[in-house]
Structure 1
């Protein structure tokens, strides 16, 4: 094998590894998102994904056309992780807390350019303007959960994701094109440990990170109505409780007693 061929194979390997890292960070990606995230032509990004698909490291949803990691990645690293902790650890804790405080709680994880609802306690309360459902999504660049995710993400992955958001066709991702505004919000979230996001409508939310071994795993957020609770009141009365809940989830799910694999 010549030096040029070896260099080309090494470059292809690096692209494949970076693609899996990005998919792992976001949950799933479309070809166009991977293209923007890695700064590659769409045809090159598609070749990378097709190679990973052929080798069984990724699979493609026939409906959404998005790529996600398969359990074969377990053979390479801890990138693929079981998420039964949401049902076994987080759900009982969140529903019990909502019955006490009244406001709905949500667990959200990234899905490309959006934060996707994985668990919601909306059914346990009437204190909300509209009902969310499992699978509903909100733009990452504007939401409190998205800003917290970006704030606690690995710097390299954050830079890639911010590039994707800046080049997004979704008008809801507009704050990403105002670098100073979003960078400030991210820095504040990392410093304070929480964020209210940039969408200051009638219904608002405050988010805190859920970590696993120093890496962000998910986001825990509380939704509230602006007329019923100020930001100052939320910080004083609820942010400490959310932070403790996140710590309890981390301890019970990822340290002391990992949930059973279903």
Structure 2
């Protein structure tokens, strides 16, 4: 391979990393379209990144997503350091007080991904979540809140993606009236219980950075332990206050470092 070919390969690899980062996850066909490459070339780019450990592939959906190794490219810088320095101590302290687990979730393609969980701080007999676990955006309380607080054009595009998804858990996105009601409620009230009302339930509120949704704060609870009315009365105000405290401590301009 000559120098020009090596540079082209490097550029394609870097562009692929940037595109996957912006979308959360990509299929080979999506990378091919996004970078205007032949499918075989797009596949070689992704397989190279896979071999080097910069991406991984979901065996079920066949979609590629970035791994933690990408962080090594940033020289120690992380835009999500607020999760460790601000959110983690706050969430664990609150879980010890209220008894219910708390989660920070962010979007990853069609799903909401757990970035922080206080499950280890509880003794409840619940489904244990781990960092990196995902849940369908169309049904989860975190997904509904994320969609509700997106820019309208981004929300329209994301809803279209969910409507076309092969994942059966995303089917509610194909019901525009049901989805519009859920999103309007989340926008108006500032919280959502989502559309999956099973034995274990959750309520979510947005975390905003300068008016844009940055992440979602989630509280998991048992249906037999709390009614929705009790959650709204006793916990939603506290969750909103926590979210506001995180926003103030992590994203306010006067807390930015002086360069």
Match of 2:209 in 1: 212
Kindly state the Cα deviation for residue 62 of structure 1 after the two structures are TM-superposed.
4.1
Question: 1:124-162, CA deviations, whole angstroms, 9 ceiling, x for partnerless residues?
Answer: 012352111101100000000000000001111111111
Q: 1:47 aligns with which of 36, 41, 59?
A: 36
Kindly state the Cα deviation for residue 257 of structure 1 after the two structures are TM-superposed.
3.1
Match of 2:219 in 1: 222
Question: 1:72-131, CA deviations, whole angstroms, 9 ceiling, x for partnerless residues?
Answer: xx9xxxxx9610110110000000000000000000000001000000000001235211
1:125-140 matched pairs, under 5 angstroms: 125-140=122-137
1:90-239 matched pairs, under 5 angstroms: 90-239=87-236
Bigger relative CO (Cα 8 Å, ≥ 6 apart): 1
Give the TM-score of the pair, scaled to structure 1.
Answer: 0.75
Per the alignment, do residues 178 and 145 of structure 1 end up closer, same or farther by CA in structure 2, a change over 3 Å counting?
A: same
Distance in 2 between residues matched to 1:43 and 1:193, nearest whole Å: 38
Match of 1:257 in 2: 255
3-state SS of the aligned residue for 2:130?
coil
RMSD: 3.0
Give the TM-score of the pair, scaled to structure 2.
Answer: 0.76
Match of 1:241 in 2: 238
In structure 1, runs of 5+ residues without a counterpart are 1-15, 36-41, 75-79
Kindly state the Cα deviation for residue 182 of structure 1 after the two structures are TM-superposed.
1.0
Native 8 Å contact 1:127 1:224 kept in 2 = no
Distance in 1 between residues matched to 2:208 and 2:151, nearest whole Å: 12
The number of residues matched between the two structures is 221
Match of 1:61 in 2: 55
Native 8 Å contact 1:30 1:67 kept in 2 = yes
